[in-house]
Amino acid sequence: MKYKKNDCRLYRNISLSKLLLLSFLWIPVTGVAYELEAFGTISTQVESVSPGTKTDNDYTNFRDAYTRVALKLGHELDNGVSAFALLELPFDTVNMEINNTFDQDRTVFDSTERLAYIQLNLPAYGSIWVGRGWEPYYSSVSASVDRFNSYYRGYATYSVLRVEQAIVYSSPDFDGLNFGLMHAHKNGYKKSNGQYDDRNQLTVSYSIKGTKLGFGFTDAGGENSQQLVGVSLSHKIKDFYIAAKYERHSSDVTDKRFYGNDGSDAMNFYVEYKKGLHKINGHIAKVDNFGGDIFHLGYEYQYDKHVKLFAEYYQEQTGSAITHERKGFADTYWREGGQALLVGFSFDFSKKFF
């Protein structure tokens, strides 16, 4: 999920990640092993959308599919130790804004899609990063069924994807087994006093011979003591990839009409076939209070090393992703959902300066 109708918010003060990035970028580069790289993706789609409402008409228009531009400064130290700072900004190619198409009501410095963190890698001990970045839960659990190209990817999960004011530790690989720990200051749910709780997370994953098992636990706290547990299983054999995911909420919310109610769950099944330059993928899911019954079908053609062409069909029973023309999260059809048929392209680029 991107950023849902809950109280989990990012804060507008000068973050630790910004200070760390500025200090790291000011380090002199003469005579040391530094690398500076710019990279990103330009991605846009043309979609025909049929909202599930009786009052809104169908429409056909362009929509950005998460265009981004990033700058990464890395430094190689002794004994395989390395560090890097990364800053990534979203760009809405349809509305022509330095912003994210999903999160249009926020400024670029407030966007949940912006990344800004510094990371230290120690081969014998793992890695640690501080700032705004991807949750370990996404990599361990949600990513297994999130393998489409369009704007409509990343919704059939209860987890937020990125968090601010976070410190994340990832262990080294122990014969396929690794774990992650995260603490994100004031990125949980609202407490009774109106302040935001911290968000804490534990993930464990195990990979062997094309099979991966992932587990994640998130404690977002707040007035209703909300927690989320998820597990995923994926397997790749020859040209096929299959994956399944299950998530469940635990909370003090008893009304089943509300997001995050106790016992609400999400079930996902994904299958993919890839042969040469072609890929076909399908996804079905049932996500309580966030999409309901979901069906997603896609085709991808790898035109060359940098360019992908794709076509997809997406349908949801209740609101999570289907939104107004050229709009985002704030204009989502929360109750009615809808369907979308689209074609698009993505162009990946990178440039090393030194």
Amino acid at 48: S
pLDDT at 5 over 50: no
What is the pLDDT, as a whole number, of residue 30?
A: 44
Pick the more confident residue, 266 or 9. Answer: 266
pLDDT (average), residues 163-178: 96
What percentage of the chain reaches a pLDDT higher than 70? Answer: 90
* Interior/surface letters 241-260, b for 16+ CB within 10 angstroms, e for the rest: bbbbbebbbbbebeeeeebb
278-287 and 265-275: which strand pairing? antiparallel
Asked if residues 147 and 281 have their Cβ atoms less than 8 Å apart, the reply is yes
Q: What is the mean pLDDT of the chain?
A: 91
3-state secondary structure of 10: coil
User: How many Å apart are CA 297 and CA 304, to the nearest integer?
Assistant: 22
Interatomic CA distance for residues 148 and 38, integer angstroms: 24
Give the confidence band of 11 by pLDDT, cuts at 50, 70, 90: very low
The average pLDDT across 160-188 equals: 95
213-239: pLDDT as tens digits: 999 999 999 999 999 999 999 999 999
Alpha carbons 286 and 289: distance in angstroms, whole number: 9
Structural domains of the chain ordered from first start: 16-26+40-352 (2.40.160.10)
Query: How many angstroms separate the CA atoms of 100 and 131, rounded?
Result: 19
Q: Could you tell me the CA-to-CA distances from 105 to 102, 340, 341 in Å, in that order?
A: 9, 23, 25
What element of type H or E holds 49? strand 34-51
How many other β-carbons are positioned within 10 Å of the β-carbon of residue 330?
12
Whole-model pTM: value is 0.90
Residue 197 DSSP one-character state: P
Quick one: pLDDT band at residue 183, thresholds 50, 70, 90?
very high
Residue 280 structure tokens: 């076909």
pLDDT (0 to 100) of residue 210: 94
* Token digits of residue 276: 């040469």
Closest among 30, 66, 25 to 348, alpha carbons compared: 66
Amino acid sitting at position 186: K
Query: Measured between alpha carbons, how far is 117 from 16 in angstroms, rounded to an integer?
Result: 9
**Is the pLDDT reported for residue 112 higher than 80?**
no
pLDDT at 132: 93
Q: Among 31-45, 135-149, 168-182, 259-273, whose mean pLDDT is lowest?
A: 31-45
* ∠ Cα 38 137 251 (to 5°): 140
Mean pLDDT (whole number) for 253-261: 91
Report the candidate in 51, 59, 61, 102 with the shortest Cα–Cα distance to residue 339. 51
Q: What is the DSSP letter of 21?
A: H
Position 47 pLDDT exceeds 80 = yes
Average pLDDT estimate for 49-54: 94
199 and 8 in contact (C-beta within 8 Å)?
yes
**Pick from 60-64, 76-80, 250-254, 336-340: least confident:** 76-80
Note the pLDDT of residue 7: 41
- DSSP codes joined into one string, 211-223: EEEEEEEEEEETT
Nearest to 287 by CA among 142, 103, 180, 118: 142
Q: Using CA atoms, how far apart are residues 180 and 216, in angstroms rounded to an integer? A: 9
Distance CA(288)–CA(296), nearest Å, equals 17
The pLDDT score that the predictor gives to residue 310 is: 98
Query: Residue 1 — very low, low, confident or very high, per pLDDT cuts 50/70/90?
Result: low
Q: Which residues make beta-bridge pairs with 230?
A: 216, 247
Contact 88, 114 (CB under 8 A): yes
Residues 283 and 266: their CA atoms lie apart, in Å, by 13
